[in-house]
Structure 1
Amino acid sequence: MTALEIVQEYYSSFNQKDWNGMLVLLHPDVRHEPNQGEARVGTEKFTEFMQTMDESYDETLTDLVFLTEPTDTRVAVEFIVNGVYKKGEAGLPEAHNQTYRLPAAAFLEVKDEKISRVTTYYNLPLWIKLVSE
């Protein structure tokens, strides 16, 4: 599989809420660089992150645009996050099933046919505004 196909399958699994389908595409030493906070390294840390996300948010990604480069090792993807904020997290507004639509992007690196890095960007102050209205 190409890097593009691997990343497309990863996001397809995300939209199907097939967490195991996502995890099998990750390199054991995957580096997850979130928009805020410290990077997480390894599938165990990524699994913990996904469990928290699943408890707190119900999200589907739409309008995905994938961009690749000639070495077939990196893929960028731009998308809209369509979500429901189900459970509050420390330092964030209280959750009561607010809905939101938020533009976001991610940069992924593929090594040995596994995703070895996921870096995600979005506008956190805009998200806070959307769930606070």
Structure 2
Amino acid sequence: MDTKDLISAYYAAFNAGRTDEMLTYLHDDFEHHVNEGQIRRGKEMFREFNAGMTRNYKEFLSDIVVFANDAGDRAAAEFVVNGTYLNTDEGLPEARGQTYVLPAGTFFTLRDGKIARVTTYYNLADWTRQVSA
């Protein structure tokens, strides 16, 4: 599977709610660099992150555009997060079923045909403003 197809499959699994399938695309030495947070290392920490996200948010990514370098070891994606805030996440505003639309982007490092690093960026202040309105 080429790099763009791998990233597209990763996001297709996300949009379908198949977070366990997302793990199959990850390298054993995986790192998740969180927007304004600590680095999560390993598939198990990513599984726990996904469980929390599934509990607190319902999200669908639209307008996904995937870019990859010629070597296939670096990639990026730009997309729009269309979400509903279901349950209050620790340290964040109270959830009341608010909806939000948030532009975001992710950078990827690939190794051995798998995703070794995911770094996602979004504007937390914009999200907070939307769910606090």
Could you say whether these structures have the same fold, taking a TM-score greater than 0.5 normalized by the shorter chain as the test? Answer: yes
- Give the superposition deviation at 1:101: 0.3
Compute the RMSD of aligned alpha carbons: 0.7
Q: What are the Cα deviations for residues 37-62 of structure 1, in whole angstroms up to 9, with x where unaligned?
A: 10000001100100000000000000
Per the alignment, residue 69 of structure 2 pairs with: 69
Identity of counterpart residues, as a percentage? 44
Per the alignment, residue 107 of structure 1 pairs with: 107
Normalised to the residue count of structure 2, the TM-score between the two structures is 0.98
CA distance in 1, matches of 2:10, 2:62: 14
CA distance in 2, matches of 1:43, 1:129: 32
Q: What are the Cα deviations for residues 4-53 of structure 1, in whole angstroms up to 9, with x where unaligned?
A: 11111000100011112101111122100010210000001100100000
SS of structure 1 residue aligned to 2:79 = strand
- Give the superposition deviation at 1:71: 1.0
Q: What are the Cα deviations for residues 84-123 of structure 1, in whole angstroms up to 9, with x where unaligned?
A: 0001112100001100000000001111111100000000
CA distance in 2, matches of 1:51, 1:2: 28
Structure 1 stretches lacking a partner, 5+ long: none
Structure 2 stretches lacking a partner, 5+ long: none
* Mapping for residues 26-65 of structure 1, pairs under 5 Å: 26-65=26-65
Per the alignment, residue 126 of structure 2 pairs with: 126
CA distance in 1, matches of 2:19, 2:35: 20
SS of structure 2 residue aligned to 1:83 = strand
| AA aligned opposite 2:66 | F
| AA aligned opposite 1:28 | D
CA distance in 1, matches of 2:88, 2:112: 37
CA distance in 2, matches of 1:110, 1:52: 25
What is the count of residue pairs matched by the alignment? Answer: 133
Matched, 1:83 2:83: yes
CA distance in 2, matches of 1:64, 1:131: 23
CA distance in 2, matches of 1:125, 1:66: 25
| AA aligned opposite 1:23 | L
SS of structure 2 residue aligned to 1:51 = helix
CA distance in 1, matches of 2:88, 2:94: 5
